[in-house]
Amino acid sequence: MLCPSCGSQNAEGVSYCSTCGAEITSSCASCGRNLAPGSQFCDACGTPVVNGVTQTIVGPPALEAMPTSFADGCYVVKDLLGKGATKQVYGVHDTVLDRVVAFALIHP
């Protein structure tokens, strides 16, 4: 088990860290429930446990919804060309000129 205070590895089921003396409580980082010694998963929420520490499962970042058009439909969005600190650039279809152009949306 890893010590929450100093990060030292300790034997399974110990109550105090052999390096710094801090109390070792094994509880789930996701739901807070106490873990039984040797648990592979939290019995309350199913979070995996590795070396006595629950592991946070991180999924892919949420995708932002892409706009469908700009300027009341004059520019129909085809794809996102790039994103920077100050603006996003989209490939759009200009319905007035009937061609594909780049449209830069500047962040406020």
The residue range of the domain holding 55 is: 1-59
Residues 48 and 8 in one domain: yes
Q: Which two tokens stand for residue 106?
A: 């500047």
Per-residue model confidence (pLDDT) at position 36: 72
Do the domain assignments include residue 98? Answer: yes
Residues 74 and 53 in one domain: no
Per-residue model confidence (pLDDT) at position 22: 80
Q: In whole angstroms, give the CA distance from residue 29 to residue 97.
A: 56
At CB < 8 A and 24+ separation, what contacts does 20-27 make? 24/52, 26/1, 26/52, 26/53
pLDDT along the chain (108 residues), means of 10: 76 79 74 75 79 54 78 94 91 95 91
Per-residue model confidence (pLDDT) at position 16: 81
Residues 28-57 have pLDDT tens digits of 777 778 777 677 788 888 878 765 555 555
Contacts of 60 (CB under 8 A, 6+ apart): none
Q: How many domains does the chain have?
A: 2
First-to-last alpha carbon distance for the chain, in angstroms, is: 48
Do the domain assignments include residue 93? Answer: yes
Residue 54 contacts residue 33 (beta carbons within 8 Å): no
Task: Kindly report whether the global pTM for this prediction surpasses the value 0.75.
Answer: no
Per-residue model confidence (pLDDT) at position 99: 96
